[in-house]
Amino acid sequence: MYDSYIHDILIPDIRYFVFRKCTPSWRLNVHIVSNNDLTYIIKGRARYSMNDNVYEVSAGDLLCFSEGDKKEAISYPDTLMHCFSVNFRLNSADGAPIAVPFPPVKHIGYRTDIVRFFRELTDTLMSRTPGYSIKMCGLFTLILHRLYELTVYGIDSEIGDYRVKKISRYISQHYQEKLTVKKMASLVNLNTVYFGSLFKKETGFTVNRYITRVRIRNAETMLRSGMYKVTDVAERCGYTDLSHFYKHFRDIVGVVPSHCSQQQ
């Protein structure tokens, strides 16, 4: 089964955005949602109703509403909710609307990077300096990328351990070379078994799987450019065995390498 990921260009169009600090009397009256609607709670708790299903939510929860959903909410006076809420359209490159594939409620925890992006989004909207809408689109795209990782792909690219960060950067720069777990572990002075376990914990992939993904993703980019032959790409991405290259490419991308070059 190949690794699923977004092939299409996704373009967000923000229709409404707010950082909400609830008051004791705050409530959201029942209404029908338009477009895609996300709420990320960073403090307190609340009760949301979505299509007559009731959810008790709190800090670290992400709520996703789709167009046509019936939505209602109320905060609790003793633990007032603070949240970021955004209503938006997500379009493909040809302008067709796309539904966000997030679950109705997902606990992703308090993510400092996502909160930072949201706060910068708030500041950008409030200042409205020239070009602010472009910056808002860029920031929200970063937010969506992180949410896709956490809720759809089940991975977290926000690596915390500095040793794993060092090796992930090294792999990105030297993926065309012969790389082994032993060599990677030695670069950060760790036991091979411990390093392998740490890397898997931080990235969600084994070291070898991570290296393979980096190689194949770069190979795919090169092939889609239409400037390289399959054999040249395989060699440039660290493969001496073409059959292994074909196997890994199909496993990760879902098609044979020649399919990508033919699309040009």
Q: Which amino acid, residue 94? A: D
Q: What is the CA radius of gyration of the chain?
A: 22
Of 89, 15, 22, nearest to 57 (Cα)? 22
Q: Which is it for the CA torsion 205, 171, 215, 102, positive or negative?
A: positive
Q: Which is it for the CA torsion 239, 168, 3, 13, positive or negative?
A: negative
Q: What are the residue ranges of helices labelled H in 52-131? A: 112-127
pLDDT at 203: 83
Beta strands in the chain, from DSSP E residues, in sequence order: 11-21, 27-32, 36-43, 45-50, 53-58, 61-65, 70-75, 82-91, 105-107
pLDDT at 161: 86
pLDDT at 9: 73
pLDDT at 93: 77
- Could you tell me the CATH superfamily of domain 11-153? Regulatory protein AraC (2.60.120.280)
- For residue 63, the SS3 value is strand
In the DSSP assignment, the letter for residue 149 is I
Taking only the tens of pLDDT, the chain with its 264 residues reads: 444 444 457 889 999 999 999 999 999 999 999 999 999 999 999 999 999 899 999 999 999 999 999 999 999 999 999 999 999 999 887 788 888 889 999 999 999 999 999 999 999 999 999 999 999 999 999 999 999 988 887 767 776 788 998 999 999 999 999 999 999 999 999 999 999 999 998 888 899 999 999 999 899 988 988 888 999 999 999 999 999 999 999 998 888 998 886 554
| Alpha-carbon span 66 to 70, nearest angstrom | 9
| Alpha-carbon span 17 to 89, nearest angstrom | 12
Order of strands across the sheet with 61-65?
A: 11-21, 82-91, 36-43, 61-65, 105-107
- In angstroms, the first-to-last Cα distance of the chain is 25
Q: Where are the domains of the chain?
A: 11-153, 162-262
Tokens 């709190």 locate to 58
| Alpha-carbon span 78 to 49, nearest angstrom | 20
Check whether domain 162-262 has CATH 1.10.10.60, yes or no = yes
Inter-residue contact 99 to 65 (CB < 8 Å)? no
